[in-house]
Each structure stands twice: as structure tokens, then as C-alpha cells.
A and B are shown apart, each in its own frame.
Chain A
Amino acid sequence: MTELPASTQKKLGLVIDLDTCVGCHACVISCKGWNTENYGAPLSDVDAYGADPAGTFLNRVHSYEITPAEGPAQLVHFPKSCLHCEDAPCVTVCPTGASYKRQEDGIVLVNETACIGCGLCAWACPYGARELDALEGVMKKCTLCVDRIYNENLPEVDRQPACVRTCPAGARHFGDLGDPDSDVSKLVAERGGMDLMPEQGTKPVNKYLPPRPKQDRAEEFDILAPFLEPVAEDPKGFLGWLDKALERL
């Protein structure tokens, strides 16, 4: 049913550290790999080796440039996938009941056998977290690797979403954000984790940790600077003579 549960026992989700992410896209690839071979319809590509390749992805990494009034400019890599919102607008608009939020852990899923591919849930999502698969005609979205996290056939260390397991920088964390004592909740409290588009009223479960300010590190970057001093503006001695001679030519 597309009625949202009044509350969920757990709020499983991701915490993404924008300070640590290096923008390598490994999470994008591992997500595509796992979700093409496992749960639901594969994530198709169209014209994959041609001139105009396109495909379905559940996780995409944007990059943004920030130029603060003071201090150096920053480049922030920004991975984006489903935020498993508490007030998920994508669920309530679904006419068939294919879109649902699980009462037990808060994961938002699509029952692909009931999806008619009308696309309205993707219209309702402000984050662009849902993509209609071009070949299957059904809506695809992050499942939080529901087929990994409870999978007892996998070694315990692998019972995490593929993106979290693969991240070489440790920029992605998975856990219960409904439990204030969980590691992820502590991390969010400590680093000032934030919601994306809070004004849309979706109450996202996934949180983003803002990049740490870089201003106070400006000195650090200058260790080699003395060796790279620019050429003197008004040369004296031989260089001064050369400068004047060249000027006269």
C-alpha cells in the first residue's frame, strides 16, 4: 500500500561525508554492478559503446565548486542516491501500490511486478533518486542493498550496501539513524549532519556531513612557497642592465 507507515522500527540509511569523498565514483560502479546482477530488473544501458551512451544508475556523483567570500575555493564531490525519506512523496503518489516504505526498517522499495512505469514517483522526488529503466519500463531506485544487508550467505563484513563496502575513502556510512546511540547517529551529531532540501518537507533519513572549513589550513599549503618566489619586479645589477638592454631593442 502507498500509505506511509506512521513510524518505522528502524531508520536505516546512509551518512555521506562530503569532507572525505574524493569523487572516484567507485560507489557508482559497485552499485551498478551489484544491482544489475541481483535484486530486480538489471540496470540497463542504451547505446553503451556508441556515440550517445546512457543508462540507469541508482547513485550518481556530482561535483560542485564553492567560492566563499574569504578563504580558498573548494571543490566538493557530491554522491546522491535515494534518501529513504520519512515523508516520501514518491510513495504516496504511486497509483498501483508498487512504491512502498517498509515498516520494519524504513527502506523505500519498488515492487517491480506491480509498477506500470508511469513515472509519477520520479516526478514527485526532488532529488532525482528514481530513474525509469529504458528497457524494462519499471522504476529503479536504491534498495539500500536490501539483498546484502540481511544476507546470511555473505560474510558479515559484506552485509552493507555495496557503495559503503566499496568506498576506498571511508566517506560512506550505513546504520540505523533512528537509534540515537548508533555510530551513524553519533557521527551526524558530532559533524552537524544535514538534510538536503529541508524545505521540501520530505524528512530525508540519509544525512550529509558538510566539508570541514579549509581557511585555517592556508598556511600549511605554503611550505614550498619560499622556493618558488616570483622574479623580482625591478631587477638590479646584471639583470637590471639586461632588462634595460632588452627594453631598448
Chain B
Amino acid sequence: MHPAPSVIIFTSFSGLGFGLLLFLGLGFPPVTGWVAFVFYAIAYALAVGGLLASTFHLGNPQRALKAFTQWKTSWLSREAWLSVAALLVMAVYAFCAVFLDTRLTVIGWIGAALSLLTVYSTSMIYGQLRTVPRWNQPLTPVHLLTLSIAGGALLAGQMTAAAALLALAAAVQVAHWQVGDSALKESGTNLATATGLGTPGNIRAFEPPHTGTNYLLKEFVHVVGRKHSRKLRMIALTLGYGLPVVLLIIPGAGHVLGLLAVISHVAGLVTSRWLFFAEAEHVVGLYYGKRSA
């Protein structure tokens, strides 16, 4: 899949933002007043900024409100509802915490649950697609959820929890890569089933339909070199998970090390998300002879 910057920014930052809202809603840390204002400003900037970035890849963003209508079947529509609900409920909670110095515990819990559901609905937009076997696995929502929760814990300053959650998220990340690497092969879809002709190995794409490129090739047939993918995975693991954990478990880690851990995590997160898209093989590539399976 084409790793569009708008979608990478959207899923990475809104995931972090809703992860932070989850912890704030649960009362970790139990902030009020100006400190709470700073926390909520960061959470909303990330969550709303991410959602706004997602509208940049739309062909006709002026009609975006229509995306609220099909919640019965569409995960994208559900995500629209859940994200707005989470942001509104948490806005009430944040207002009371910042200006009235009170924390409405139950509202916070509801907001936290909605934040988590928002991230789940985002993950299901990808996880539901049978056309992309690498995404069509139960670990996809687990991967995006653990990353969001771990990132949220990190931003919320929950040092011990963040270190443990990052380690868990790293394990899920590695498992997602491993299952994903053989997913296309195991899906049973290949050029022979795509065309109904021949058997795998004795059919070959001879001529593409056009001499030029097209939307399908640009959107779905991004190929990332295996060598680079291995290097990038190491970078994502080191920056996104390893280094932040090390920085967090240094005794007496203050704001400076915490900030470094956040910066490192974001760099690793964006790398991981770039790979999430760039490595995903859409089955339409088979028709163009662009998949080895």
C-alpha cells in the first residue's frame, strides 16, 4: 500500500492522543487546574490534529460529515462517531478538571472507554480488509491498541506502567510482523486464483493493461526493498520501544529523560506505521505480476 503521509500522521498521532486521553480519563495522573490544561491541550492537539490530517487524503473533504451516516456497516463511519463521542465526553471531563477543580470519575471512565474504542475502530478499518492479508489478522487491532495504550502511558508520565506496556507492545509488534510475513501466502490468493488460469508457477503476467501507471499501481503496489524493511524494523524497535524503556527505568528519570523517551517513541512509532502501510501487500498487485506469491 502507498504509505501516504496524511494517513501515517493520522493513525500515529490520533493513536497517541486517544491513548493519553485514556489515562487522563482513568485519573492517571489525577491532574486538575493548569497542569490538567497542559495535559489536555497536548491530548487534544494530537487526537484532533491526527483526525484533521486524515481529511487531507479525501478527494472531496467538504462532504466529510456524510461519513457519520453508515455506522451500521462501516468501521470508518463508526470511527467518526466514536472519535467525536470520545472527544466530547472528555471535553466535559477536562473542563471540570481544569476550571472547576473537580474530576467527574464516571464521566472520565466513559471517556476512557470511548477513547479505547476509537483506536479499536481505527484498527478495524485495516483489520477488516481481506484484500490485504498482512492486515487481515487478529493481531492488527492488538498491535494498534497496545501501541496507543503504551504511548498514552508514556505521555501521561506513568513511568513504570509505560515501561511494561512498551515491552508488551514490542512483543505484539514483532508477532504482527512475523504473522504478516507469511499472510499473503497463507491467504491462498495467488495469480492462479485471481485469473482462474493455470496453476501457480505456470502462469505469468505477460503484459500490463497500459504502458503508463495508474491509480491502482500508485495506491496498492508499493514495494519496499527487503533489505530496507529489515533495517527499518530494527530502527522502529529500537527507537519506538527499546530506547524509551531504557530511559524510563533509569532511577530518578526526570522530565528531560521523559521528553527524550517521548521523542524517541514518536520517531519509532512513525517508522513502524510507515512500514505498516509500505509492507502491506494488496492482492490486486497479483494481476500486475507484482507479488511473488
Binding site for B on A (CB under 8 A): 1-3, 18, 28, 52-57, 60-69, 75-76, 78, 80, 89, 91-98, 114-120, 122-128, 131-134, 136-139, 194-201, 208, 210-211
Question: Are the C-beta atoms of A75 and B131 separated by less than 8 Å?
Answer: no
Give complex CA distance A126, B187 in Å: 12
26 CB-based A-B contacts, threshold 8 Å: A2-B74, A52-B213, A57-B209, A60-B209, A60-B214, A62-B288, A63-B207, A64-B197, A65-B204, A66-B197, A76-B197, A78-B195, A80-B287, A92-B73, A94-B74, A95-B69, A96-B66, A96-B77, A115-B63, A116-B58, A118-B57, A123-B220, A123-B282, A134-B215, A197-B189, A200-B189
Residues of B within 8 A of A (CB): 1, 57-61, 63-64, 66-70, 72-77, 80, 125, 128-132, 187-189, 191, 193-198, 202-210, 212-216, 219-220, 282-284, 287-288
Residues of B within 8 A of A116 (CB): 58-61, 63-64, 66-67
Q: How far is the CB of A243 from chain B (nearest CB, A)?
A: 41
Task: Check if A3 sits within 8 Å of B72, measured CB to CB.
Answer: yes
Also in contact, A196 and B195, with CB within 8 A (given A56-B215, A118-B76): yes
- Known contacts A116-B61, A138-B59, A200-B130; can you find 10 more A-B pairs with CB under 8 A? A54-B215, A62-B288, A63-B206, A64-B191, A95-B68, A116-B63, A122-B216, A123-B1, A126-B189, A126-B284
- Is A197 a contact of B193 with CB atoms below 8 Å? yes
Q: Which of B77, B131, B204, B205 has a CB less than 8 Å from the CB of A200?
A: B131
B189: A residues at CB distance < 8 A: 126, 197, 199-200
CA distance A55 to B75 in the complex (A): 30
CB < 8 Å neighbour of A123 from B129, B196, B204: B129
In the complex, the answer to whether A54 meets B212 with C-beta atoms within 8 Å is yes
What is the interface of chain A mostly: helix, strand, loop, or mixed?
loop
Closest-by-CB residue of A relative to B63 is A116
Find the A residue at minimum CB distance from B201.
Answer: A67
Residues of A within 8 A of B130 (CB): 89, 126, 200-201
Contact check, A124 vs B287: say whether CB atoms are below 8 A apart: no
Contacts of A57 in B (CB 8 A): 209-210, 214
B70 touches A97 (CB 8 A): yes
Given contacts A2-B73, A92-B73, A137-B60, contact A54 B214 (CB under 8 A): yes
Q: Which residues of B contact A52 (CB under 8 A)?
A: 212-213
In the bound complex, CA of A75 to CA of B70 (Å): 44
Chain A residues positioned under 8 Å from B214 (CB to CB): 54-55, 57, 60, 131
List residues of chain A with CB within 8 A of the CB of B61.
116
Closest Cβ–Cβ distance, residue A43 to chain B (whole Å): 11
Q: Chain B residues near A118 (CB, 8 Å)?
A: 57-59, 67, 76
Q: Can you name the residue of chain A whose Cβ is closest to the Cβ of B135?
A: A123
Closest to B126 in A: A123
Min CB–CB distance A127 → chain B (angstroms): 7
Give chain B nearest CB distance to A81 CB in angstroms.
11
Given contacts A66-B202, A123-B282, are A92 and B74 in contact (CB under 8 A)?
yes
Given the interface contacts A56-B215, A66-B203, does A93 sit within 8 Å of B128 by beta carbon? yes
